[in-house]
Structures are given as structure tokens and as C-alpha cells.
Amino acid sequence: MSNHFTITIHDDNGVRQFNLHRIIKKTAFHLILFIGIVTIVAIGTILYLNYIVDEIEIKRQATQKAYLMQKEKNQALDKSIKEAQLALIDKKKELIAVSETLSEIETLIGITPVAETSLSERMTTTKVNSEHIATLMQFIPSGSPVEYRGVTSTFGYRIHPTLNSKELHRGIDLKADMKTPVYATADGIVEWSGYHQKSGFGNLVIIQHNYGFKTYFAHLNKAVIGSGKFVKKGDLIAYTGNTGMSSGPHLHYEIKFIQRSVDPLAFVKWSVKNYNDIFQKEKQIPWQSLITATAHIKVPAPTQTLPSSQLALQ
């Protein structure tokens, strides 16, 4: 005989019986089914949430990585901007220095800067004027023909050291030891190179230059350049001596413009630094027409400063 309970219910509709054991089993089955469904749903939800969390974490990591990369780029950009700003500051300082240097050069060569003129335009103007100055000083005697140590006899009337009579000294006597190198002071053609007895100059070199200038180098020990040869400014032409009517080793130096003697001292000390001075000191020369005549001439490789002229510039 099985162990189970039977519930009997009497109502207006009659008698009904319920097997308690079946009800419990059915209830238990539904309960187990419900728990199973809830468990499956819970497990699915958990798995889904884990998946979502993993996806969020992956996205978070990617976002973090992108953020770090962007941060590095921003830092690199900031560094680049700072370096560019420093470079701009340096370039600005360089431009200021260039402008100041250019102003000094403009002052030296007699250019008055215009306020509205750009740096590029100023540099072009200065370049053109500098080239003209270099050309002019290449063709016209400038600088000392020997290492400048001073003058023993100036230009003008004096008592001749050997004749003891008042004579016009048409040049200057530059201090120089025996066999001191003598350099050409401008481009030209050697008109005379040898002993010149009539003048009392002894060994003499005469160079014919452009635009009517001529230079004389007298009392030489010997010349190293022959007549008819072309010489450039700065070329070695002779060595100083004591030949002819001379009382001791020195260099007699003359400059003539169209056969008229001019004081060579202003030309010996003539340089870019005092470029305009000679126009005031030597008024016998028509400088304006000479400058106009040479305005469009350019020397490819002008001689900068004679090796003998360094002390003359001081």
C-alpha cells in the first residue's frame, strides 16, 4: 500500500478529491524548472555582463593608450613649439645683429637707411655700393705699398737731404728697412722698371693705372716685375733700397693724377672704414665724375686689404 494523502472537498458542485503526493511532485517539478530557468538566465546574464565588462575594459585600455599617445604627441608638439619659439628668438637676435652690422656698413659707405626700406632691400643696396667701393679701390691707388711704420718726409716743399736746397717733394718717404717687400697699390701696367738716373730715383718702378692715376716707387734695391707687365693690386713688385739720390733705406712713393702730383698720404690711409674722407682731403680730383664712370663696373675678385696696410689703418 503506497503512502500518500488524499484531500476530499465537498461543495455544491459535488465531491472532488486531490492526491497530495501528485501536487507536491508537480509543485516540486515546477519549482525545479523555475529555479533551472532562473539559473540559466542568471548564468547567461552573468556571462553577458562579463562579456560587456571585457569589451568595456578593452575599449578603456584602447582609450587609455590613445590618450597616452595623444599626450606624448602633445608633449612633443609643446617641445617643438618651444624649440621653434627659441629658434625664432635666436633668429630675431641674428636679424637685429645683421641690421646693426648693416647699419655700420651703411654708415661706412655713406648710405642713409630709409625707415620703410626692408632688410632685403637694404642688403641689396649695400651690396651694390660695396661692390662699387671695392671696384673703385681696386683701380685707384689705396693702402700702403710697404708695411706702414710712419713717414720720414711728407709731401710739399722741403730741404733736399742730399742737395741741401729747397725742393718740392712730390711724394712721401715711408720708413722701411733694406729689402722690405713693396706691393702694387692698384691694378695697372708697369710703365717703367729699372734704373732711372736722370731723376735721381735710382731703381724705379712706375705703374700706369686706370682713370689717369700713376704711382712711382723709388730708391729700390731691386724690382721683381718688368716693364709692360700687368699687375694686380697687392702683387709684389720690388724690394726697398737706397739707390739714387738717397740718404738711407726707405721708399719714396708718389701718386700722380693726369701728370699732377697729389699727396699720397691720404691714399695710403684710404680704406673702406674712412672711404669718404679722401673726397674731402683731396679736392684736385673730380671724384663725382670718376664715381659715375665706374658705377656699373664690377671687379670679380677684388683685393681686400694690402698685407702692408694693416698698420696704416690704425
Does the pTM surpass 0.85? The reply is: no
Which of 72, 87, 113 represents a domain boundary (last residue)? 72
Looking at the fold, whether 46 and 143 belong to one and the same domain comes out as no
* Domain containing residue 187: CATH number: 2.70.70.10
| Residue, of 113 and 232, whose pLDDT is higher | 232
What does the pLDDT read at residue 212?
93
Selection from 1-5, 49-53, 228-232, 308-312 with the highest mean pLDDT: 228-232
28: helix, strand or coil = helix
Structure confidence by residue, pLDDT tens digits, 61-70: 999 999 999 9
Q: Tell me which residue of 295, 306, 300 sits closest to 271, measured CA to CA.
A: 306
How many domains is the chain built from?
A: 2
Which of 72, 93, 126 represents a domain boundary (last residue)? 72
Q: If you ran DSSP here, which 8-state letter would residue 241 be given?
A: B
Which of 72, 100, 124 represents a domain boundary (last residue)? 72
Residues 214, 250, 177, CA angle at the centre, nearest 5°?
130
What does the pLDDT read at residue 239?
97
Looking at the fold, whether 166 and 249 belong to one and the same domain comes out as yes
| Residue, of 118 and 241, whose pLDDT is higher | 241
Give the CA dihedral 38, 44, 45, 49, nearest 10 degrees: 160
In Å, how far are 2, 125, 153, 172 from 157, measured between CA atoms? 167, 44, 10, 11
23: its cell numbers: 501536487
